[in-house]
Structure 1
């Protein structure tokens, strides 16, 4: 895998390398992808991540993917996109169908970390759940508390979270510090807390099939 150093925001800048498969991914998955690649010693991937904060402005995702695909085509045997729908209303899938490119299955990362079938099984009980992954637990203050302006306007808390009843922490690693951060996030939001260890789920199996 060819990439440059991880930034504090968990986004990667990209330099073309010797990989045969280009992974185009959400920056929120960067750390997990690198962990999997290093653990399995997969050498055939190059990785390029788009900013994780674009989940708040999903209209930016598809134009950026289109641009990166155009730049990369012809340099790789294949391109694999590691995004759920991510609020694009099906636009990612329409782009990829047009380009003949596959993506990981699932509506969002919560589903493919859990496994899509397992996620669907919990759908009814989780209808009022707010999900955290390792990434979101690690960056809760920056992405959620500050990102939604709750540090400046705590009165907005019921507006954003009034319809939620619990936080479900989908943990990719057995990390006590992250579990404590997720539990503290639940307290700050006034929500119940539930822990589920998922591991890397279908992110790992999807990469393994293309390694």
Structure 2
């Protein structure tokens, strides 16, 4: 009968650059806009080995700041986890985030942005919706803070058509079945002067990607 494998010594772990507390653990570095959904998936699936560290969701308004923030967080996590996984799409970085992840030796969620992987990257790409403006559960909740005020529409509502004149439909990608959020999303469409469509996407590709970790 084979003997039981012994756990690696602290010295061996140090040589590998890993602390004892980090064995078997994965750090998720995620956009703050995905925090609620990732935590819900963790609880539903019992993924106790996944730790979550979120970067401010408002970084999406200045995507050039996403890559340095991810790089700094990966560097800080070295030696404390078996692996690090970046829960961002490209998110307006023009491929720079993917290049940084490859350079750092970490993986990331495939897809251009969360709207795509929530719906499923293949399904989203097939739609080719150039005139759709998307909201998720997070963005419906935070519409004023992340859309209305940053665009200055609270001070200059006359700019609405300048920003949204080429859009036709507000598409609400619902992660949850919440009638109150649906009504709020409908109100957002009215404020922007757009038609309204709700699609229940759930967590899309996100659950499968995290499940493989």
| 1:186 is aligned to 2:159 | no
Within the candidate set 131, 134, 146, 1:143 is matched to 146
Larger Cα-atom Rg: 2
Is the counterpart of residue 163 in structure 1 residue 179 in structure 2?
Answer: no
Q: Which residue of structure 2 aligns with residue 10 of structure 1?
A: none
What's the secondary structure of 1:170's corresponding residue?
strand
Contact 2:22–2:81 (CA under 8 A) maintained in structure 1:
no
CA 1:150–1:204 in structure 2 vs 1: closer, same or farther (change >3 Å)?
same
**Number of aligned residues:** 193
The answer to whether structure 1 residue 34 and structure 2 residue 48 are counterparts is no
From 65, 73, 80, the counterpart of 1:68: 73
Separation in structure 1 between the aligned mates of residue 48 and residue 40 of structure 2, nearest angstrom: 13
| SS of residue matched to 1:155 | helix
2:13 alignment partner in structure 1: none
Is 1:177 the counterpart of 2:177? The answer is no
Structure 2, unaligned runs of 5 or more: 1-20
For the 8 Å contact 2:59–2:65, the answer to whether it is kept is: yes
Q: Partners in 1 of 2:64 and 2:110 — Cα distance? A: 20
Match among 189, 196, 200 for residue 197 of structure 1:
200
Residue 52 of structure 2 aligns to a residue whose secondary structure is strand
Q: Deviations over 1:11-53 (max 9, x none)?
A: xxxxx98870000000000111011111111100111111101
Cα distance in 1 for partners of 2:64, 2:117 equals 22
Contact kept, 8 Å, 2:22 with 2:79, in 1: the verdict is no
Give the TM-score normalised by the residue count of structure 2.
0.88
Q: How far did 1:193 drift?
A: 0.5
Q: Which residue of 2 aligns with 1:78?
A: 83
**Which residue of 101, 104, 124 maps to 1:96?**
101
Runs of 4+ in 1 over 3 A off after TM superposition: 16-19
TM-score normalised by L of structure 1:
0.89
CA 1:185–1:87 in structure 2 vs 1: closer, same or farther (change >3 Å)? same
Q: Which of 122, 126, 130 is the aligned partner of 2:127?
A: 122
Residue 56 of structure 1 is matched in structure 2 by 61
Give yes or no for contact 1:132–1:167 (8 Å, CA) kept in 2.
yes
> Is the CA contact (8 Å cut-off) linking 1:19 and 1:46 kept in structure 2?
no
Question: Which digits, 9 at most, give the CA deviation of each residue in 1:82-107, with x for residues without a partner?
Answer: 00111111110110110111101100
* Cα-Cα RMSD: 1.3
Deviation string 1:96-119 (CA, Å, 9 cap, x unpaired) is 110111101100000000000110
Map 1:13-28 → 2, pairs under 5 A: 20-28=25-33
1:18–1:44 CA contact under 8 A, matched in 2: no
